[in-house]
Every structure is written in C-alpha cells, then in structure tokens.
Homo-oligomer: A and B are copies of this chain.
Amino acid sequence: MLIHESPLTRKLSAFVALSGDDLETLARFHQRRRTFQAGHELIHEGGKHQSAFILAEGWACSYKMLPDGERQIVDFQVPGDFLGLRSVLFRATDHSVEAVTRIEASEVLASDIFDGFATAPRLATAILWAASRDEAMVVEHLVSIGRRSADERMAHLLLELGARLMLVGTGDKTGFDCPLTQYHLADALGLSAVHVNRVLRHLREEGLVTFQKGRVDFNDLPGLTRLADFDLDYLDQDGPLLR
C-alpha cells in the first residue's frame, strides 16, 4: 500500500479516505511519467486539446503573458498538484505552465480523468475538491494583490507555500526549501523585482522571515501570520502549520 504513497495521494487523503479501488485508479494516472528541464513550457496559452499533468517532483508555475511582455504568475505548483487541469474542457488553453526547476510529472489524458470519474466516484469527488482548492488559492491571491500591501502579500505567499508543502511532506514550521527567484515572486505578487528585494530585506530586518539561498526560514511564525492576516481555512486542510 505504501507503494502508492505519491504526493497527490497524500494530498487527497487530507480530504477523504481513499479506498483500494480509488488508489488503483489513481495509480493508473501515474503511468506516462515524464521529465522536463527547468524553464520548459509544458503548456502553452492558446494551445488546443492538451493533456494535464500531475506534478511528482519539483516546482512549476502557471501564468499569463501581457502584450508588453509583462507576466502575471497565477500560482505555483508543488508535488501533488495538477498542471493544466482547468482547461482540459476548453477549446483553447487559457494559460501557460512552465517548469521552475527540473520536474517529473505524469501525463494524464482527459479521457483518463472522465473514465476514472465513472469507476471511482469517491476519487472524482476528491479531484473536484483539489480543483476547488486550487481555485480558492487563486481567489486568495486576488485578494492579496487587490487589497494587501507589498509586505503583507509577501508574507501571505510564503505562509501559503509553507502550508501547502507541509501537506505533502516537504517543509515544516521552521521553513522550507524554495527554488524561486525574486523575479518569480515579483511576477506572482504584481510587484517589481526591485521592490520584492526591498520587501524581503524589510521582513528579514523585522525578524519575521528569511528568504535566502533557496531556503525560506520562518523566524517568527505568529508575527508573520498576524501581518499577513493568514488563515489557512481556505486551503481546507487540517493545519499542522499553526496548530
């Protein structure tokens, strides 16, 4: 049974107890495993009939480009997350996804998913839950960019990533390994890279978080949580990060 312990399994288990049938169907999703180099664009905005992926190893990000060359990162994906799930139903994909690090991911055809829905209804519910959770995260990012200051936004993002990584087993309340550059953070938070740098310095000087050398350290988790107005209810997971 432990053989099935993929990050996705681990994540979905936070929502429902999966049956043997569910696990089997889930295992079938993990055939067709592929590797991509850092920077590779797996899914291209405007493309048609593309399949989705389940991320097994490494980090990715989904984003949209603007005509002036600016980029808005919509979300980051960590192991256990789907890539491109939303637009399997669309005529044309509405966003792009690229590998932040070297990644390993399993390709999933739309038909796999729909067939799975028929044979493993509990799994179907779990996948819908995962999709709803993804949307809830996007909504929270919207709130951040719309109404929170740069410091608060940054704090919120780092806390969210920490909580998500705990759920799949990487990272704990002291921090996590983070391959993002300050440019990634800027594109995700709607800031300039220059300002991201200043924000990080400020948070470090306040003794709240340290972002350095591919590592995020939570120096004052309660203080950071207060600053960010971070409440992990929207992740709908039992929150060992805070409790």
Contacts and interface: CB of A to CB of B under 8 A. Distances in A.
A236 interface: yes
Contacts of A139: 64, 74, 94-95, 138
Q: Which of A46, A134, A147 has the most CB of B within 10 A?
A: A147
A82 to B, nearest CB: 12
Nearest to A188: B146
Q: Which of A72, A148, A229 has the most CB of B within 10 A?
A: A72
Interface string A115-144: 000100100010011011011101111110
Contacts of A129: 89-90
A169 to B, nearest CB: 22
Contacts of A94: 136, 139-140, 233-234, 236
A92 interface: yes
| The 6 A-B residue pairs with the shortest CB-CB distance in the complex, in nearest-first order | A146-B190, A94-B234, A72-B146, A72-B143, A135-B135, A89-B129
Q: Which of A70, A189, A233 has the most CB of B within 10 A?
A: A233
A51 interface: no
A145 B144 CA distance: 10
Interface in A164-190: 189-190
This chain's copy number in the assembly: 2
Nearest to A236: B90
Contacts of A71: 147
Given A125-B89, A190-B147, A74 B236 contact: no
Nearest to A124: B117
Interface in A29-84: 46, 64, 66-67, 70-72, 74
